[in-house]
Amino acid sequence: MPNQDLKLHSPSTLRNRDPILELLRDVLPESGTVLEIASGSGEHILHFASSLPALTWQPSDPSPQARESIQAWSQEETQNNLLPPLDIDTTSETWPIEYADAMIAINMVHISPWAATQGLFKKAGNILPSGGTLVLYGPYRQEGRPFVDSNAEFDAYLRAKNPAWGIRQVEDVINAANQYGLTLTSIVEMPANNLSVVFCHT
């Protein structure tokens, strides 16, 4: 039996997992391995694995507590296409995985130092095949668009918690991705003033 005490819960997961899933249905390959960076509690990837069984899902997180939560959730709802979580710190030069057909990172870019996003792009440029997809999800600033009050308040909260965190300018994110052979394919507006930013490895 899974240890219930190890299971973390993110209330926002229930609100955003289905809109994200619908986007993933459109942009992910029909089969192959999808690596999730910063899987957190594991609730997202468990939902995706059960909904898209033709794909193999590889969770990861640098936090031991998060990896324990992912294991606890996966033991409760066993999915044959959900692999054990990996310890991946995107700022590390060495990752315990050498290939993935696609990658996703949900609510990572704003809750980590900028170097973590740069490391994500660098490794994505190495392990994704030509035509491989990288999907980012979260709140962003956009040129020519108002920064809504709820995101401004969230940004202030993040920066107070850690000055290296904060909501990024999406144009800066795109420029950083371009340096590693990742080309923007779409920016999709999502509920609650979030965006999905989709890249293709060229």
Check residue 186 and give its pLDDT. Answer: 98
CATH of the domain at 114: 3.40.50.150
Are 108 and 116 spatial neighbours (Cβ–Cβ below 8 Å)?
A: yes
Q: Tens-of-pLDDT digits for all 202 residues of the chain?
A: 445 678 887 777 778 999 999 999 999 999 999 999 999 999 999 999 999 999 999 999 999 999 999 999 998 777 899 999 999 999 999 999 999 999 999 999 999 999 999 999 999 999 999 999 999 999 999 999 999 999 999 999 999 999 999 999 999 999 999 999 999 999 999 999 999 999 999 9
Using CA atoms, how far apart are residues 60 and 103, in angstroms rounded to an integer? 11
Check residue 78 and give its pLDDT. Answer: 74
Q: Using the structure block, give the residue that is written with the tokens 């965006």.
A: 195
The two tokens of residue 64 are 């031991």
Using CA atoms, how far apart are residues 151 and 172, in angstroms rounded to an integer? 18
Check residue 130 and give its pLDDT. Answer: 97
Other beta carbons within 10 Å of 52? 18
**Full-prediction pTM beyond 0.85?**
yes
Domain that holds residue 39: 4-201
Using CA atoms, how far apart are residues 107 and 121, in angstroms rounded to an integer? 15
Q: Using the structure block, give the residue that is written with the tokens 């000055």.
A: 163
Check residue 146 and give its pLDDT. Answer: 94
Name the residue type at position 99. Y
Bridge partners of 182, per DSSP, are 201
Check residue 1 and give its pLDDT. Answer: 44
Using CA atoms, how far apart are residues 195 and 170, in angstroms rounded to an integer? 9
Q: Dihedrals φ, ψ of 120, to 5°?
A: -60, -50
If one counts the domains in the chain, the total is 1
Question: Distance from CA of residue 188 to its chain's centroid?
Answer: 15
Check residue 2 and give its pLDDT. Answer: 45
